[in-house]
Amino acid sequence: MSTATVLASARAFIAEDFDATTVQELTGLLAAAEGGDARAISELTDRFSTTLQFGTAGLRGRVEAGTNRMNRVIVAKATWGLGAFLLDGAPALGVDATKQGVVIAFDGRLSSRTFAEDAAAILAAQGIPVHLFPDPQPTPVCAFAVADLGAAAGIMVTASHNPPADNGYKVYWANAAQIIPPVEGGITDAIARAPLANTIARMHAPDAFLAGLRRLIGDDLEQRYLAAIGALGWHKPNATGLPVVHTAVPLRIVYTAMHGVGHRLTVRALQQAGFEGVVVEPTQTDPDGTFRTVAFPNPEEKGALDLAIKKAIEVDADCILANDPDADRLAVAIKVPGGYRTLTGNEIGVLLCHDALLHADAGAKQRLVITTIVSSTMLSRIARDLGAQYDEVLTGFKWIANKAMEREADCYFCGGYEEAIGF
Catalytic residue list: 160
User: Nearest-CA neighbor of 336 among 319, 357, 360?
Assistant: 319
Residues 116 and 155: beta-carbon distance below 8 Å: yes
The alpha-helical segments, DSSP class H, found in 288-328 are 306-315
Q: How many CB atoms lie within 10 A of CB 96?
A: 13
Strands (E), 58-187: 59-62, 102-106, 130-132, 153-157, 166-173
Distance CA 283, CA 416 (A): 32
Distance CA 388, CA 414 (A): 10
Residues 407 and 413: beta-carbon distance below 8 Å: yes
Kindly give the pairing relationship between strand 59-62 and strand 330-336.
Answer: unpaired
Residues 123 and 79: beta-carbon distance below 8 Å: yes
Q: In what order do the strands lie in the sheet with 389-393?
A: 389-393, 366-372, 411-417
The answer for residues whose C-beta is within 8 angstroms of residue 74's C-beta and 6 or more apart is 52, 59, 67, 169
DSSP 278: E
Distance CA 221, CA 140 (A): 12
User: Nearest-CA neighbor of 390 among 330, 350, 345?
Assistant: 350
Q: How many CB atoms lie within 10 A of CB 178?
A: 25
Query: What secondary structure does DSSP assign to 149-161, as a single string?
Result: HT-SEEEEE--TT
SS3 call for 347: helix
User: Nearest-CA neighbor of 179 among 77, 54, 265?
Assistant: 54
